[in-house]
Structure 1
Amino acid sequence: MAPEDLTRQQQELTTSPPDPEVAEKPVRRRFTAKYKLDILNQVDSCTKPGSLAALLRREGLYASNLNTWRRQRDEGSLAALTPKQRGRKALKPDPMAVENERLRKEITRLAKRLKQAELIIDVQKKVSQILGITLDTPPESESD
C-alpha cells in the first residue's frame, strides 16, 4: 500500500461516524436578511469553476434559495429578504366597535355607581325614619 492510502484510511478511522438518530420533528431553518446578503455577496465573488457548488454544500443551501434571494434583492428592499410572517393576518379593529365597547364599559360603571347611590339614599331614609328626623323633599320638577 502506498503511504497516501494509509493516511486516508487513518483519517477515515479517526473521524467519528455521523449520528444515525433522526430528530422527532425537523426544525425549519430561518435565514436573516444579513445572512442572505452575505451569502449573495460570496456567490457573486465565486469565479472559479466549482467554487459556487462548494459554497452551497458548505452552507447546506440549494440553488433555489439563491434564486429566491436574488429575486428578493433585485426587488430592492432589505425588508423583502426577511421571512414573511405565516398565518392569518391580524385584522385592524373597527373604530366604531372600539368606541362601542368603551361606552358599554362606561355604562356598566355608571350603573354600578347609580345602584350604590340609590342604596345609600334608601339607608339615609330609613335612618331618618328611625330617628324621627324629617327630611325636606326637593320640589318636583315639571320635566319628570
Structure 2
Amino acid sequence: MTSTTPAGSDPAPRPKRRTFSPEYKLRIVAEYDAAPKNEKGAVLRRERLYHSHVKEWRAARDAGALEKLVDQRTSPALIATLMLAPGLPAGEAADPGQGAVTAGQ
C-alpha cells in the first residue's frame, strides 16, 4: 500500500518553541513575586507559562545569569527596578557588582 502524500510534505509541521528575552523573564518574575497569593495563577495563565518557568528564571536571576544577558545600554532602568536580591525588602535593589546594598548606604 502506498501513501497518497508526497514524501517531502509533512501534514502537520512541528510547532516552534517560544523563546523569552531576559527582559521578559525579569519582568514576569517580578510581577509574579509581587502578585498576591491568589493571583499568581492568573499571571501564569495570562502568559501561558508554568510555575517551573518562574522557578528556573528566579534561580537564574538570583545567580546573576539574567542580568548579564540584558543589554545594559538599552535597559538600565529595568535592571535597577527588577533586580531585587533575595531577602531584601521591596525597594532595596542589589548592586550586581558589589552584593546587596541597603537603602541607607
TM-score norm. by structure 1 comes to 0.37
Separation in 2, partners of 1:40, 1:47: 13
CA RMSD of aligned residues (A): 2.1
Q: 1:55–1:23: structure 2 CA closer, same or farther, 3 Å change rule?
A: farther
> Post-superposition shift, 1:48?
4.5
SS of the aligned residue for 2:68 comes to: helix
Equivalent pair of 1:40/1:66 in contact (CA under 8 Å): yes
> Deviation above 3 Å: which 4+ runs of structure 1?
none
Cross-structure match for 1:36: 25
From 15, 19, 27, the counterpart of 1:26? 15
Cross-structure match for 2:97: none
Separation in 1, partners of 2:37, 2:57: 22
Residues matched between the structures, number: 59
From 15, 18, 36, the counterpart of 1:47? 36
SS of the aligned residue for 2:44 comes to: helix
Separation in 1, partners of 2:53, 2:40: 13
Question: Does residue 67 of structure 1 match 2:86?
Answer: no
The sequence identity of aligned pairs, in percent, is 41
Equivalent pair of 1:72/1:80 in contact (CA under 8 Å): no
1:84-95, aligned counterparts within 5 Å? none
